[in-house]
């Protein structure tokens, strides 16, 4: 642990620390399951105030620790899950405490919420390991590939990069996306998707979405290309579920392929 977060040991002598290199990992590395565990604890209103720090040990205290204003905290309190709203807003703000796992861990420690730290410790470790593996895979994909023979022969051209979408061609480098949007582009869902794109790709979210029908290459082998994008270029999948979606063979392929990669990787939210 760093100097701001002393090593924590619960009543059973169990260490509740995290490896130092975890502390600067962004909160976006955590999946919904960890956020929900934190929310299940902090959503419950509390009258317990730490005499040293002055923080209430529920979501109000975490909001104050992070730097949210009183009015913003009141807004969170009117939501179905105040803590999850707080965490999502925190990720998008540059004027607050850094939205890192280390800062969240420090906040839980200051609020004396060792119960949450214990319940989330294993989940955080698994999520960070998965996040780091995905980052390493992305970095590997970004590196130019050369065979052993090519590295020994100056007259042998470098291996051609595979273009999977329009952005690959425009930027001349493989592009990665926050999410693959799975929807029936031949049904009535197109107008909904267009509105969603404006919201998620605009301020303040600025997400990078892969939209079939907009970003695909003409003439490409559709299923093969989309499978490669889902597996190696997209962090998440967003499914626009509707009656039209259920009638689409392409959508059926996309969702089943994503789930087959890892049953726990793509969660229904």
Regarding whether 75 and 111 lie in a shared domain, the answer is yes
Q: Which domain, by its residues, includes 104?
A: 20-136
pLDDT band of residue 234 (cuts 50, 70, 90) is: very high
Query: The CATH number of the domain where 110 resides is what?
Result: 1.10.533.10
pLDDT score recorded for residue 7: 54
Residues 35 and 132 in one domain: yes
Task: For residue range 148-190, list pLDDT tens digits in order.
Answer: 444 444 444 444 467 899 999 988 899 999 999 999 987 788 8
Rounded Cα distance between 150 and 134, Å, is 27
Q: Indicate whether 155 belongs to any domain.
A: no
Cα separation of the two ends of the chain: 33
HSE-CB of 206 using CA atoms within 13 angstroms: 5
pLDDT, residue 133, reads 83
Q: Give 254's strand partners.
A: none
Place 249 in a pLDDT band, splitting at 50, 70 and 90. confident
The percentage of the chain sitting over the pLDDT mark of 90, rounded to a whole number, equals 40
pLDDT (tens digit, 9 = 90+) per residue, 190-206?
889 999 999 999 888 89
Asked if residue 12 has pLDDT above 70, the reply is: no
- Give, as one character, the DSSP assignment of residue 94: S
Cα(70)–Cα(87) distance, integer angstroms? 16
Residue 240 makes CB contacts below 8 A (sequence gap 6+) with 181, 182, 183, 184, 189, 192, 193, 196
Structural domain tally of the chain?
2
């Amino acid at each position: 642990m760093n100097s701001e977060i002393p090593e924590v040991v619960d009543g059973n002598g169990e260490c509740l620390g995290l490896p130092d290199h975890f502390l600067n990992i962004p909160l976006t590395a955590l999946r919904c399951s960890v956020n929900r565990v934190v929310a299940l604890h902090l959503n419950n209103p509390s009258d317990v105030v730490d005499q040293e720090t002055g923080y209430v040990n529920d979501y109000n205290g975490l909001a104050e620790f992070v730097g949210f204003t009183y009015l913003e905290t009141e807004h969170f309190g009117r939501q179905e899950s105040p803590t999850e709203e707080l965490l999502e807003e925190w990720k998008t703000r540059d004027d607050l405490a850094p939205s890192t796992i280390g800062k969240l861990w420090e906040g839980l420690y200051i609020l004396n919420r060792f119960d949450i730290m214990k319940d989330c410790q294993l989940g955080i470790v698994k999520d960070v390991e998965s996040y780091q593996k995905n980052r390493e895979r992305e970095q590997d994909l970004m590196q130019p590939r050369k065979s052993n023979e090519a590295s020994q022969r100056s007259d042998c051209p470098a291996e051609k990069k595979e273009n999977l979408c329009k952005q690959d061609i425009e930027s001349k480098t493989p592009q990665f996306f926050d999410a693959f949007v799975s929807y029936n582009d031949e049904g009535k869902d197109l107008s909904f998707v267009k509105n969603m794109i404006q919201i998620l790709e605009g301020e303040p979210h600025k997400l990078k979405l892969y939209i079939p029908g907009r970003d695909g290459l003409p003439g490409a082998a559709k299923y093969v290309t989309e499978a490669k994008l889902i597996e190696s270029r997209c962090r998440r999948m967003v499914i626009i579920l509707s009656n039209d979606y259920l009638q689409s063979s392409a959508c059926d392929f996309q969702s089943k392929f994503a789930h087959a990669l890892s049953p726990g990787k793509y969660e229904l939210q």
